[in-house]
């Protein structure tokens, strides 16, 4: 699978501290390297923000999946993301 960041998600990631950025990038690389990355994701009940989410510590990554692409829509702290 391939990861594609939205412009706003890329900005949100760049505003995080370097440690959190590295942790999120490492985790996304791990998920994508697996046979089925959605095994590690949780489906969202409200599709207003996106269809799926990953949890990386206190951060949430909201994304949609289309064929062999993961579109990252939002990245943020769990208290601010929804």
CATH code of residue 43 = 3.30.2310.20
Query: Could you tell me which residues come within 8 angstroms of residue 27 by beta carbon, excluding any fewer than 6 positions away?
Result: 54, 56
Residue 28 belongs to a domain: yes
Q: Is the pLDDT of residue 9 over 90?
A: yes
Angle ∠(47,38,36) on CA atoms, nearest 5: 155
Angle ∠(29,6,26) on CA atoms, nearest 5: 15
Per-residue pLDDT, averaged over 54-80, amounts to 94
Residue 50 has a pLDDT of 82
Residue 42 belongs to a domain: yes
pTM, whole model, 2 decimals? Answer: 0.89
Looking at the 3D structure of the chain, how many domains does it have? 1
Domain of residue 58: give its range: 2-77
For residue 62, list its beta bridge partners: 53, 74
Residue 82 belongs to a domain: no
- In angstroms, rounded to a whole number, what is the distance separating the alpha carbons of residues 78 and 16? 13
């Amino acid at each position: 699978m391939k990861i594609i960041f939205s412009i706003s998600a890329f900005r949100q990631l760049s505003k995080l501290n370097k440690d959190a950025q590295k942790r999120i990038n490492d985790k996304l690389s791990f998920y994508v390297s697996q046979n089925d990355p959605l095994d590690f994701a949780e489906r969202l009940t409200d599709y207003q923000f996106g269809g799926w989410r990953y949890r990386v510590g206190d951060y949430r990554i909201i994304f949609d999946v289309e064929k062999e692409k993961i579109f990252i829509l939002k990245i943020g702290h769990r208290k601010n993301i929804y």
